[in-house]
Amino acid sequence: MSNLLKRNNVTVIGAGREVMLFAHGFGCDQNAWRCILDAFTSDYKVVLFDYVGAGKSDLSAYDKTRYSTLQGYAQDILDICEALNLKDVIFVGHSVSSMIGLLAAKEKPAYFKKLVFVGPSPRYLNDENYTGGFEKEDLEKLFEIMDSNYLGWSRTLAPAIMGSSNGPALGEELANSFCATDPEIAKQFARVTFLSDNRKDLSGLKVESLTLQCADDIIAPQEVGYYMKEHTPGNTLVLMKAKGHCPHMSAPGETINAIKSFI
C-alpha cells in the first residue's frame, strides 16, 4: 500500500466521513485543485493524487504499456480506492480525468456515489455528426510541435487553454505546471488523451453524474457538453459563465457552488 501511495503521491486531508476524490487533468497535478479545496475539507475527507509522470509521483513506476490507454489511468484510481478502502466516493475529474473516472466507475460502480466532470470530452476529434473541436490535421500539428519543442508548446498553449480573459497569471501558472511534467510521459499522455474515443462508454454508466461546461473552451466546445448530457444516463449539464478550460482555477466560486448543488 505504501508503494502505491508513493507512486501516485496520494494526499488525504479533511474532517468528513464522506469521501471526495479529485483527479487532475493533463499537464497538471493535485495542486491545481487548491483554489476550491477549502470549501470541502470541513465536510468531506478529500483524497488528492498525481498521475505517474506528474507532480511528485514516482516516475520509475511509469509503464508505457499500462498507460498506452486511458484504462491504465483508470486502474490507478481503482488502486487508490482499494488501498484506502474507499466506498461511495464523490469523484471530481478535470478534462481527460472525466473519462478516466467514467471508465473506473463503469468497472467498479460500487466504489462511486457520484461523478463530477469538469470540462469533459468523450472524443476530441470531429467526426460525422459529432463536434469534438479538433480536426486530425490540428492534432498532428499539435503533436509535431510538442515533439520538437515541448517547453515552447507548453508556454504557447497553456494561456489559450486557460482562456485569455482570465489574465496572464493563471496562464503562466498552467504553463509552469505543463513544464514541470515529465516531457516524454506528457507526450504519450497527450496522444492517449486526444486520440481517445469514449463515446460508446457513456451509455453504460450507472453512476449519477454532473457535467460542468465552460464558455469559450477551446478543448471542449459547448456541443460536447450537450453530447455528454444526451448520451450519458443520469447526467446533469450545467453551463457555466466561466470561460476557458479550467474553471476550478479561474472561477473557483462558481465551480464550488455548482459542485455543492449537485452533491
More confident residue, 218 or 97: 97
**What does the alpha-carbon distance between residue 87 and residue 112 come to, in Å, rounded to a whole number?**
6
**What does the alpha-carbon distance between residue 31 and residue 46 come to, in Å, rounded to a whole number?**
13
pLDDT digits (tens, 9 = 90+) for 130-152: 999 999 999 998 898 888 888 77
**CATH architecture observed for domain 2-262:** 3-Layer(aba) Sandwich (3.40)
Q: Three-state DSSP class for 93?
A: strand
All cell numbers assigned to 166? 482570465
Q: What is the reported pLDDT for 223? A: 97
Catalytic residues: 95, 217, 245
Cβ density class 95-111: b for 16+ within 10 Å, e for less: bbbbbbbbbbbbeeeeb
More confident residue, 202 or 159: 202
Residue 192: count other Cβ atoms within 10 Å of its Cβ: 18
The confidence band for 170, taking pLDDT boundaries of 50, 70 and 90, is confident
Domain ranges of the chain: 2-262
Q: What is the reported pLDDT for 204? A: 94
Helix (H) or strand (E) holding 113: strand 112-118
All cell numbers assigned to 66? 499500462
Average predicted confidence (pLDDT) for the chain:
92
